């Protein structure tokens, strides 16, 4: 059974929910949710189980594989995307949670004409990646890091980019790229 | 797959694009926009999702597996166990030796030899369904005591690796006679590759043809394994791995989970995707093995080493064999008239360890490079000085000349850049507030591993050039340096070259490991491109319709994509115009570096095994890359926390094909070395033989905040004995010597000698 | 992750009622709930998404108090100008926690509900025995790998460390948590394991955290949070200390001092013995170090975590010294 997100608006007076969700006070059974996710300026309709994360929705259902799965546990940063302009981890975010919010992934960062974002261009110039797998997360994190005002010094960049692990060891070049992009965007 | 082009200012492009130029990665634009599609991101119709169930004991037997609840769960297609999964043939080993052709291979284990061994698999319509159903599979075990730790009372069988014994002179006698002695035991920990891209694959069968999308450092070797497992011709297996999200040695083999996915796909008649969870990436395949080494040094009072006695041991699993050769560079770092090194392995209930970045050399350096630092301290010598006193002018073991050894230059250049001369010699003599400051140095080496390679170069009708190889790019820059090589050889801009890698249907390639790929592949591409160019010029000269007809063979060249006289004084055509006039849609050349007369069987062996690797001491020379690391640490006097605050490394990798990318690899190795020195350790609960920190919150990789600025300086010179274009190894070298440099710096900061890695805070407070 | 049904609560009353349903769990930032659901530690039947409730994310700071809505994000509180100036230890505890991404997700209320990082607790498949998960099943950690485990507030049932940072600062400054019908001191909201390791928080079915309130004080204004760990960032504390200091007019005698510890205890740990020993004393390094040792009264180690007994007092001492230097 597929349903839209049920919002409990009115407090039940008698222990019974209205809105047809759980009128007998019992827990509603799991259903497939119909979601509408606003990603990179486009609306994506999607029917998924409530437990599906934003990360798996992007990669497995919407074929937006630029957002990477490194740990699936909130411990590496490879799945970093922006929700309402702030960097978050897609692996610990239910897709249902962000229905109604604005999502940006690496695929939506460059201009529509292909012009790279200043952070992307700086990553290329500074060779701020090797295998490229953590890179979309690093770039999304870096864009937010600069926007937050946390790119004021190399030490601040290191601290505020610490949530994105890079096993190839591109860290010094990532710092250089963020520093460069922050100056360009100032 | 198309490799994106990078645009540069025209004035810079020729300099950047030449071999040796600092060209940005040609695969970079795909990686920074999310367009680069990694192997397991392939989208297929009808894909089923597999999730593994692992043993929760380290030793014993699986008595029964309860699968009913899982089978009844929503979306579940099948639950396979050792009883129900199809049986495979046993594949041959790294060298192509058949292991047990009479036996069958069951990729799910009934007899458990390590915790985390796969015992069942759940296949479902969605990933989420497979995950939750897998949690419903319950196993009963007949548990046996586990062998868990190297060197303690529970250790298993000890095996001497006789082939690694190195002896010359009379080490025991010379040690007894030496006036200065040092004896110490050095331990290195189990550590993980921890590539950010997890292992996994998609397997699809079409009849008896198998396609595998899987991150791979060795497409042809893994294709051979799949072919042998399923008893199908090698040609029937296609492996696709366009990008690899980090390997570091871990992605060279098809593993048990690979077999499970391929078997499930065959049994179900559907493509199957299986990704290891992050935790399974710590337990399904081994990282660097735990090692212990004893070093006895004898020296005279001037610090000249008279004898080195080295005994090393590493852990290995109950089944299979991998030796972490801790004596691998002990024998070549310093000149000594007497030497003895032996290696054992101890069998434990652990997953088979794997080669991880500079296997052997890295822990080997931790022993000898700490020991010589300890000797320097005992004698009151500067750590740099004692290394120069004992400088090996030739390979002390092979008794051959070095092909090139710029280690003296590395010491000098590194020391100058670091400001080593300002070092205060006494431990605990430098500080800033609560931070004790220490400076340490250590050297490293990595042998030049060579093999033969091949490549296809195509000059297309429109003047574009395609390079094809089943070799791979996991971040080293293969796409880029092969584009540079082809462009330079053919005289075309890099923007006209597209490099296609990572498909086993392309020209074959051996393993990407041991820092051998760049040297092999630049040689093969250079050869193939030269052949294509020769053919193009030959056609241009011989075709009577062309303006070049009748000119001498050496009077034509290609520059900037145009063919004509090198002096620019004759007729000139673009390659596209020439191809059009010749009526050709392509000129294709396959170049290889194999000796003439190589048989088809030898070719197959060359690419699908490591049996035909060429020893680094072949012929008249001993070939290695060299490095010297200078490190500053800050140790909090109260907390014992160690932070690396400065690194200057001078490295000799011979000629660099692209310094920008080589420097990145060096830094990456140095950073992985910082992790192994200070943070990383696979920690096992001895009661269960289980790794308890199999995740990125508890297994500590360095973060950006742990890494300072790192200065790398190339001191290499072209080494014609090591590769066609003069390069030596890059990727493995950087890590070698980092841990001892840090340990030596920690000693200098604190006066405490820590001989057990990682150097965590409780060892210093 | 077991499947569950998903409901959104639009207001706090709806959330309270939904939270009272058997098997229901609240979802705000998701950094604990989704993580633990993936580990198989929690298996909610219904997830009540409260993240869309409006008006619960306000941050209101005056000299008298900081009032922080339960849905305020950790990052926003950390970067809040008045929090930084009037409650620096709170800001420092927050920005040193987790990573920038997790701090953008995690809420203040959810942070108080964070569970332990004990590896045995987090791995039910391999370690069925855990009194926190299954009361009476035993403790897998005791006798196992204990490097990260607690030395204070432990019991025979559980030695799991409380992992958070913010609550350490909150405990130091007598913050209260608003549960609607009830208000509790944060210190009392957290429960040491005793014989009931499964009870980590004093919260009842149907209760929802709506806000925390931190009283302003001179000690809170002059405060700091020092966190020691193996890695420079993105790691839980080996030992941490939230310290606030108020000096007499002479600039060296302690009028008020607050000390709380993280990373070493089963709950955010107020070190009153240290405070009592230093109140009225003139600060000097020897006095500070001696008093800091009192924090470890009653500490019990399990081998590999022995170092914490030496480390924690040094973290306290460093924090006091740092605050004293800024006089």
pLDDT in tens, B585-635: 999 999 999 999 999 999 999 999 998 899 999 999 999 999 999 999 999
Integer-rounded Cα Rg, in Å, for chain B is 27
Neighbours, chain C (3 or more CB pairs < 8 A): A, B
- Report how far Cα C232 is from the mean position of its chain's Cα atoms: 20
CB < 8 Å to C2, chain B: 132, 135
CB < 8 Å to A88, chain C: 101, 104-105
- Interchain CB distance below 8 Å, B639 and C315: yes
Name the pLDDT band for C21 (thresholds 50, 70, 90). Answer: confident
Crossing angle of helices C285-293 and C307-325, rounded to 10°: 140
Q: Please name which of B111, B192, B187, B114 lies closest in space to residue B150, comparing C-alpha atoms.
A: B187
**Distance, CA of A87 to CA of C106 (rounded, Å):** 12
What is the pairing mode between strands B690-691 and B684-685? antiparallel
- Parts of chain B with a pLDDT under 70: 1-12, 101, 152-154
CB B234 within 8 A of CB B608: yes
- Interchain CB distance below 8 Å, C235 and B700: yes
SS3 C206: coil
CATH classification code of A118-185: 1.10.150.120
- Interchain CB distance below 8 Å, C235 and B688: no
For the segment(s) A31-108, the CATH number from 3.20.20.140, 3.40.50.740, 3.10.20.30, 3.30.360.10 is 3.10.20.30
Question: What part of B 172-201 touches A (C-beta under 8 Å)?
Answer: 193-198
The pair of three-digit structure tokens given for residue C195, joined into one six-digit string: 């014989």
pLDDT over threshold 90, residue C121: yes
**Distance, CA of B335 to CA of B314 (rounded, Å):** 26
- Given this model, what pLDDT does residue B99 score? 79
A-C contacts at Cβ under 8 angstroms: 134
B687, B698, B764, B765, best to mutate vs chain C, most C CBs in 10 Å: B698
pLDDT over threshold 90, residue A23: no
B8, B124, B196, B712, best to mutate vs chain A, most A CBs in 10 Å: B196
| Active-site residue, selected from the candidate residues B324, B409, B732, B762 | B732
- Given this model, what pLDDT does residue C152 score? 98
- Interchain CB distance below 8 Å, B475 and A165: no
Nearest CA in chain B to C39: B135
The pair of three-digit structure tokens given for residue B616, joined into one six-digit string: 């680094």
**Within a domain: C170:** no
Neighbours, chain A (3 or more CB pairs < 8 A): B, C
**Within a domain: C167:** no
Nearest CA in chain A to B712: A172
The CATH number covering residue C41 comes to: 3.30.43
| Residue B732 annotated in active site | yes
Sheet bearing B60-66, strands edge to edge: B111-112, B60-66, B138-143
CB B398 within 8 A of CB B617: yes
Of C40, C126, C311, the CB nearest to B639: C311
Report DSSP letters for B20-73, one per residue: TS-PPPTTHHHHHHT----GGG---TT-EEEEEEE-SSSSEEEEEEE-HHHHHS
CB of A179 less than 8 A from some CB of B: no
**Distance, CA of B707 to CA of B689 (rounded, Å):** 32
- Interchain CB distance below 8 Å, C2 and B679: no
Sheet strands (E) in B349-452:
401-402, 431-432, 435-447
Question: What count of Cα atoms within 13 Å lies in the side-chain half-sphere of residue B185?
Answer: 5
A9-48: b (≥16 Cβ within 10 Å) or e: eebbeeeebeeebbeeeebbebbebebebebbeeebebeb
Of C127, C230, C318, the CB nearest to B638: C318
- CA end-to-end span of chain A: 51
Nearest CA in chain C to A33: C6
Cβ count near B44 (within 10 Å): 14
CB < 8 Å to B66, chain C: none
CB < 8 Å to C52, chain A: 7, 100
- Intervals of CATH 1.10.150.120 along chain A: 118-185
**Within a domain: C314:** yes
Question: What part of C 47-76 touches A (C-beta under 8 Å)?
Answer: 47-49, 51-52, 75
**Within a domain: C189:** no
B444 has which bridge partners? B627
- Given this model, what pLDDT does residue A18 score? 39
- Interchain CB distance below 8 Å, C30 and A92: yes
Average pLDDT, chain C: 97
Of A15, A28, A163, the CB nearest to C102: A163
- Given this model, what pLDDT does residue C326 score? 62
CB of B27 less than 8 A from some CB of A: yes
- Given this model, what pLDDT does residue B570 score? 86
Of A5, A11, A158, the CB nearest to C13: A11
Number of domains in chain C: 2
- Interchain CB distance below 8 Å, B34 and A131: no
- Interchain CB distance below 8 Å, B131 and C314: no
- Given this model, what pLDDT does residue C244 score? 98
C6, C96, C138, C232, best to mutate vs chain B, most B CBs in 10 Å: C232
CB B661 within 8 A of CB B26: no
**Within a domain: C274:** yes
For A14, residues 6+ apart whose C-beta sits below 8 A from its C-beta are none
List domains and CATH numbers for chain B.
41-145+200-275 (3.90.1170.50), 291-449+617-763 (3.30.365.10), 451-608 (3.30.365.10)
**Within a domain: C232:** yes
CB < 8 Å to A77, chain C: 99, 101
CB of B696 less than 8 A from some CB of A: yes
Write out the residue range of the structural domain in which residue C31 sits.
5-49
- Intervals of CATH 3.10.20.30 along chain A: 31-108
For B416, residues 6+ apart whose C-beta sits below 8 A from its C-beta are none
- Given this model, what pLDDT does residue B760 score? 98
- Given this model, what pLDDT does residue B3 score? 38
For B621, residues 6+ apart whose C-beta sits below 8 A from its C-beta are B400, B401, B402, B403, B721
Phi-psi region at B380: left, alpha or beta (left = phi > 0; alpha = psi -120 to 50): left
**Distance, CA of A143 to CA of B613 (rounded, Å):** 46
- Given this model, what pLDDT does residue B153 score? 61
How do residues B189-209 score in pLDDT, each as one tens digit?
999 999 999 999 999 999 999
- Given this model, what pLDDT does residue A27 score? 46
Crossing angle of helices B10-17 and B478-490, rounded to 10°: 100
- Interchain CB distance below 8 Å, A88 and C9: no
pLDDT over threshold 80, residue A10: no
Question: What part of C 174-233 touches B (C-beta under 8 Å)?
Answer: 228-233
- Interchain CB distance below 8 Å, A162 and C104: no
**Within a domain: C281:** yes
Of B131, B692, B761, the CB nearest to C238: B761
- Interchain CB distance below 8 Å, C14 and A73: no
Of C232, C238, C315, the CB nearest to B643: C232
Report DSSP letters for B210-265, one per residue: EEEE---S-HHHHHHHHHHHHT--GGGEEEE-S--S--TTTTSS--HHHHHHHHHH
- Report how far Cα B183 is from the mean position of its chain's Cα atoms: 32
Of A28, A94, A144, the CB nearest to C34: A94
- Given this model, what pLDDT does residue B102 score? 73
**Within a domain: C245:** yes
pLDDT over threshold 50, residue A14: no
The CATH number covering residue C284 comes to: 3.30.390.50
CB of A139 less than 8 A from some CB of B: yes
Q: Whats the size of chain B, residue-wise?
A: 765
């Amino acid at each position: 059974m597929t349903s839209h997100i049920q919002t409990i608006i009115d407090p039940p007076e008698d222990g019974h929910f209205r809105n047809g969700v759980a009128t007998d006070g019992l827990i509603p059974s799991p259903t497939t949710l119909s979601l509408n996710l606003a990603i990179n300026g486009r609306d994506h309709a999607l029917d998924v189980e409530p437990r599906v994360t934003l990360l798996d929705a992007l990669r497995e259902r919407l074929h937006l594989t630029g957002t990477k799965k490194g740990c699936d546990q909130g411990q590496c940063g490879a799945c970093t995307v922006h929700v309402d302009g702030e960097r978050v981890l897609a692996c610990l975010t239910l897709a249902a949670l962000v229905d109604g919010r604005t999502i940006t992934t690496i695929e939506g960062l460059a201009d529509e004409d292909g012009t790279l974002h200043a952070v992307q261009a700086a990553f290329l110039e500074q060779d701020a990646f090797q295998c490229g797998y953590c890179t979309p997360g690093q770039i999304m994190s870096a864009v937010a890091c600069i926007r937050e005002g946390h790119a004021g010094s190399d030490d601040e960049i290191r601290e505020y980019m610490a949530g994105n692990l890079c096993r190839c060891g591109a860290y010094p070049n990532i710092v250089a790229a963020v520093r460069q992009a922050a100056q360009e965007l100032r | 797959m198309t490799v994106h082009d990078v645009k540069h200012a025209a004035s810079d492009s020729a300099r950047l694009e030449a071999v040796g130029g600092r060209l940005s990665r040609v695969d970079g634009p795909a990686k920074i926009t999310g367009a680069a599609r990694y192997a397991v991101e392939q989208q297929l119709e009808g894909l089923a999702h597999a999730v593994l169930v692992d043993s929760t004991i380290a030793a014993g037997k699986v008595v029964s597996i309860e699968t009913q609840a899982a089978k009844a769960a929503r979306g579940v297609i099948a639950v396979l166990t050792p009883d129900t999964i199809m049986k495979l043939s046993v594949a041959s080993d790294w060298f192509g030796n058949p292991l047990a052709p009479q036996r069958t291979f069951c990729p799910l284990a009934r007899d458990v030899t390590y915790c985390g061994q796969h015992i069942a698999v759940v296949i479902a319509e969605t990933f989420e369904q497979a995950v939750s159903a897998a949690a419903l599979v319950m196993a009963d075990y007949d548990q046996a005591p586990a062998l868990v730790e190297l060197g303690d009372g529970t250790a298993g069988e000890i095996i001497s690796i006789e082939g690694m014994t190195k002896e010359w002179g009379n080490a025991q006698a010379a040690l007894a006679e030496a006036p200065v002695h040092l004896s110490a035991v050095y331990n290195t920990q189990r550590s993980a590759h921890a590539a950010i891209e997890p292992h996994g694959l998609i397997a699809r069968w079409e009849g008896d043809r198998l396609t595998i999308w899987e991150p791979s450092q060795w497409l042809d070797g893994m294709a051979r394994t799949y072919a042998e497992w399923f008893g199908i011709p090698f040609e029937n297996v296609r492996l696709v791995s366009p990008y690899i999200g980090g390997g570091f040695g871990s992605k060279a083999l098809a593993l048990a989970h690979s077999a499970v996915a391929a078997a499930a796909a065959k049994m179900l008649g559907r493509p199957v995707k299986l990704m290891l969870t992050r935790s399974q990436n710590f337990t399904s395949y081994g990282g660097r093995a735990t090692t212990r080494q004893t070093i006895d040094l004898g020296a005279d009072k001037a610090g000249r080493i008279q004898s080195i006695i080295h005994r090393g041991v590493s852990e290995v699993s109950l089944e299979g064999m991998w030796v972490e050769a801790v004596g691998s560079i002990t024998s070549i770092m310093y000149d000594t008239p007497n030497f003895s090194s032996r290696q054992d392995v101890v069998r434990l209930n652990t997953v088979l360890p794997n080669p991880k970045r500079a296997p052997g050399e890295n822990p080997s350096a931790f022993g000898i490079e700490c020991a010589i630092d300890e000797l320097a301290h005992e004698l009151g010598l500067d750590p740099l000085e004692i290394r120069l006193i004992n400088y090996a002018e030739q390979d002390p073991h092979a008794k051959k000349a070095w092909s090139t050894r710029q280690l003296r230059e590395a010491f000098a250049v590194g020391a100058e850049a670091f400001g080593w001369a300002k070092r205060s010699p006494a431990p605990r003599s430098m500080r800033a507030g609560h931070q004790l400051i220490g400076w340490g140095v250590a050297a490293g080496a990595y042998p030049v591993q060579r093999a033969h390679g091949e490549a296809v170069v195509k000059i297309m009708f429109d003047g574009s050039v395609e390079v094809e190889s089943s070799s791979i790019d996991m971040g080293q820059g293969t796409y880029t340096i092969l584009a540079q090589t082809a462009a330079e050889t053919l005289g075309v801009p890099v923007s006209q070259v597209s490099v296609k890698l990572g498909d086993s249907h392309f020209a074959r390639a051996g393993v990407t490991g041991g820092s051998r790929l760049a040297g092999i592949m630049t040689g093969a591409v250079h050869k193939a491109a030269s052949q294509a160019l020769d053919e193009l010029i030959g056609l241009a000269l011989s075709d009577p319709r062309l303006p070049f007809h009748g000119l001498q063979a050496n009077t034509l060249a290609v520059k900037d994509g145009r063919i004509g006289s090198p002096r620019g004084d004759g007729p000139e055509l673009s390659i596209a115009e020439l191809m059009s006039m010749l009526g050709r849609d392509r000129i294709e050349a396959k170049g290889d570096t194999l000796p003439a007369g190589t048989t088809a069987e030898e070719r197959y062996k060359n690419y699908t095994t490591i049996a035909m690797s060429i020893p680094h001491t072949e012929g008249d020379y001993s070939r290695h890359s060299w490095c010297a690391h200078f490190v500053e640490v800050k140790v909090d006097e109260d907390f014992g926390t160690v932070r690396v605050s400065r690194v200057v490394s001078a490295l000799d990798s011979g000629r660099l094909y692209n310094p920008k990318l080589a420097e990145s690899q060096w830094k990456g190795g140095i950073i992985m070395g910082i992790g192994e020195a200070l943070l990383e350790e696979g920690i096992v609960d001895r009661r269960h033989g289980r790794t308890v920190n199999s995740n990125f919150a508890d297994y500590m990789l360095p973060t950006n905040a742990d890494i300072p600025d790192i200065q790398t300086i190339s001191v290499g010179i072209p080494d014609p004995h090591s590769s066609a274009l003069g390069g030596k190894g890059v990727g493995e070298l950087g890590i070698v010597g980092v841990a001892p440099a840090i340990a030596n710096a920690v000693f200098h900061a604190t006066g405490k000698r820590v001989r057990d890695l990682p150097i965590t805070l409780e060892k210093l407070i | 992750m077991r499947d569950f049904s998903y409901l959104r609560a639009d207001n706090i009353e709806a959330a309270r009622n939904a939270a009272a349903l058997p098997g229901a769990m609240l979802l705000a930032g998701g950094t604990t709930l989704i993580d633990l659901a993936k580990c198989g530690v929690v298996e909610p039947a219904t997830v009540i998404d409260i993240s869309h409730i409006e008006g619960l994310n306000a941050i209101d700071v005056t000299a008298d108090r900081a009032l922080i809505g339960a849905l305020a994000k950790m990052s926003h509180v950390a970067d809040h100008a008045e929090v930084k100036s009037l409650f620096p230890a709170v800001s420092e505890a927050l920005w040193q926690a987790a990573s920038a991404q997790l701090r953008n997700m995690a809420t203040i209320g959810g942070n108080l509900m964070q569970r332990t990082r004990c590896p045995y607790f987090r791995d039910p498949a391999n370690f069925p025995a855990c009194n926190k998960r299954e009361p009476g099943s035993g403790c897998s950690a005791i006798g196992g790998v204990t490097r990260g485990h607690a030395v204070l507030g432990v019991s025979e049932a559980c030695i799991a460390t409380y992992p958070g940072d913010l609550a350490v600062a909150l405990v130091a400054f007598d913050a209260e948590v608003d549960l609607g019908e009830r208000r509790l001191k944060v210190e009392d909201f957290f429960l040491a394991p005793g014989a009931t390791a499964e009870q980590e928080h004093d919260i009842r079915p149907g209760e929802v955290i709506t806000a925390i309130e931190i009283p302003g004080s001179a000690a809170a204004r002059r405060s700091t949070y020092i966190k020691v760990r193996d890695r420079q960032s993105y790691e839980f504390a080996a030992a941490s200390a939230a310290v606030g200091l108020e000096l007499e007019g002479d600039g060296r005698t302690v009028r008020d001092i607050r000390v709380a510890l993280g990373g070493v205890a089963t709950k955010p740990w107020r070190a009153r013995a240290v405070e009592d020993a230093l109140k009225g004393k003139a600060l000097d390094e020897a006095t500070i170090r001696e008093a800091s040792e009192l924090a470890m009264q009653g500490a019990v180690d399990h081998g590999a975590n022995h170092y914490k007994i030496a480390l924690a007092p040094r973290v306290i001492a460093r924090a006091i010294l740092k605050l004293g230097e800024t006089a």
